[in-house]
Structure 1
Amino acid sequence: MNTKMYINDENLVAGITLKNASELELNNMALHVCENEDDVLSNRVKLANFLQCNVNDFVCANQTHSANVHKVTLDDKGRGASELSSAIPDTDALYTYEPNILLCTFTADCVPVIFHHEEKGLVGVIHSGWQGTVKEITLKMFNQLVHEEGCDPKGFKVILGPALSQDKFEVDDDVYIRFRNLGYAEDFMYYKEETHKYHIDNQKTVKKQLELAGVPSENITIDATCTFISDEGFSYRQDRKSGRHLSFIMRKS
């Protein structure tokens, strides 16, 4: 099972699945972009076995590059795990207090945000493509957790998983302007004269959003793996038919 583990202890498991030529559909984990749903489900079963849980412990959303957040309860267990129709609709951020629920987010260049708050027993995932970033989904999620759930922002530990690197994330004026209008992303962009393109670091922009929400910089880890360059990366920019990574976190009871 080609999976990079970020946390694997008695309390938590967190990580990301990687592209692998020896697996079905290269280890694609997404039902919304696949050639054969049974192959993707087989990959998910392998992941569940590897993590010593059940596929029905998974909770997945129908991601739409929104800024919508969903608080996962026990009633949500298994949603989107075996079929698209039951996935949580129009949502790109999930969090829960419940143990033994594997929160899932799917990416292929977008930034996966994986986090936990030890004191609160809370875990979560966010899908932040550039559209989610300019909608400030991460800032919205963490402000909600601080103000509505009473989380001390200093208690969060956050991992930003593999994503499209700044070198490969080139955009035209329209996207550049939306990042510039955030008011805090200038340091994470540059202009390339030869191509007349702007290059944006989406991971560092998301990191800044976390810091604006009060999360200490030292509590944020960036996985610098570029999904476009890495042999283990799924990249939509490189291949429109690309599969998807699954980033996950689960608190154990």
Structure 2
Amino acid sequence: MKDFVLCHAAHGVWFGVFSHFDAVGIRHGFSTRFGGVSEPPFNSLNLGVKTADQKERVVANRKRFCDAVGVAFAHVVTAQQVHGDRITIVAAADRGRGHADYTAAIAGTDALITNVPGVPLMLFFADCVPVLIADPIQKAIGVSHAGWKGTVAKIAQKTVLAMQAHFGTRPGDCLVGIGPSIGPCCYEVDRTVIDPLSQNFSEWQKLVSPRSADHWLLNLWEANRVQLLEIGVLPENIVISGICTACNTALFYSHRAEKGQTGRMGALITL
């Protein structure tokens, strides 16, 4: 069975994993709110250095999360996320960039890919969709930050294609995990989102349900799944956690549900 489960580690850290990644030895994890040192409204495992939280607490939280997953915190590579569709290839020389300092993170990037063992990739979320990608055949990994802009720009699809171009990845070999994020139950959008969505997805109407005049509920999970299917990722290899962050603010951070006064989770993957 392919599913998403929560695990418990030292210091009360809870994080989620996908069983189909574990089955092929891909170390990864999605953080929750539990097990950190931050005070409200960032309680407690806030990983976002761009929030108003104290940096020392965020760094301590990041280390706790990395320890829980079993990766070297000092080796983690992060990015300065901008809601775009730029993908960066991470080399061995990048090891550790941005792990504790935002200014050292890779600039202007919303997806990271690598085929270098021991170079963990981590991006940050609080409603946007985290997409983890693993190619167990060519030994390559990726992580994408897919908010509505990234989803409409098909960043998850582009990440797999970048892995194909640079590492020889075949989409049919990829395993994908779509982590906790705002669900179709809560993500209400207007024409600002629908207009570009309709231009990039031919069957966009299957991704939305009417809410009111010029307002819809958008299924970001399905939009990311569909774009991956388009390039040959197998449906049985895509697992969606199905957990809505806005519905579960006791466990996860939600920018929308908490009106911006909240922290960030991390999605982490390494070879």
Category of TM-score, reference length = shorter chain: over 0.9
CA shift at 1:11, angstroms? 3.1
SS of structure 2 residue aligned to 1:42: helix
How do 1:28-39 and structure 2 match up within 5 A? 28-39=46-57
2-side partners of 1:245 and 1:61: how far apart? 14
SS in 2 for 1:142: helix
Greater CA drift, 204-213 or 14-23:
14-23
Structure with greater contact order relative to length (CA < 8 Å, sep ≥ 6): 1
Is the 2:113–2:159 Cα contact (8 Å) retained in structure 1?
Answer: no
Superposed CA deviations along residues 93-118 of structure 1, whole A, max 9, x for unmatched, are: 00111111211011111100011001
Structure 2, unmatched stretches of 5+, are: 1-12
TM-score (norm 2): 0.87
Q: CA deviation at 1:233?
A: 1.5
Distance 1:174 1:27, change over 3 A: same
Q: Quick one: distance in 2 between partners of 1:52 and 1:145?
A: 24
Query: What are the Cα deviations for residues 202-226 of structure 1, in whole angstroms up to 9, with x where unaligned?
Result: 1100111111121011110001100
- The answer on whether the counterparts of 2:66 and 2:72 sit within 8 Å (CA) in structure 1 is yes
> Are positions 1:12 and 2:26 aligned together?
yes
Q: Give the superposition deviation at 1:3.
A: 1.1
Instruction: Report the alpha carbon displacement of residue 178 of structure 1 after superposing the two structures with TM.
Output: 1.4
Q: How does 1:92-241 map to 2 (within 5 A)?
A: 92-182=110-200, 183-193=202-212, 196-230=214-248, 231-239=250-258, 240-241=260-261
With normalisation by structure 1, the TM-score equals 0.93
User: In structure 2, do the counterparts of structure 1 residues 148 and 79 end up closer, same or farther at CA, with 3 Å as the change threshold?
Assistant: closer
Q: Unaligned stretches of 5+ in structure 1?
A: none
Distance 1:168 1:88, change over 3 A: same
Give the partner amino acid of 1:87: A
Shift in alpha-carbon separation, 1:76–1:148, aligned structure 2, 3 A:
closer
Residue identity in the other structure for 1:190: S
Runs of 4+ in 1 over 6 A off after TM superposition: none
Cα distance between partner residues in 1 of 2:28 and 2:50: 23
Q: 1:33 deviation in Å? A: 1.4
Aligned mates of 1:97, 1:31 — CA distance in 2? 27
Aligned-pair Cα RMSD in Å: 1.7
Any conservation in 2 of the 1:34–1:40 contact (CA below 8 Å)? Answer: no
Q: 1:150 to 1:10 in 2, by over 3 A?
A: closer
Moved more, 141-150 or 239-248: 141-150
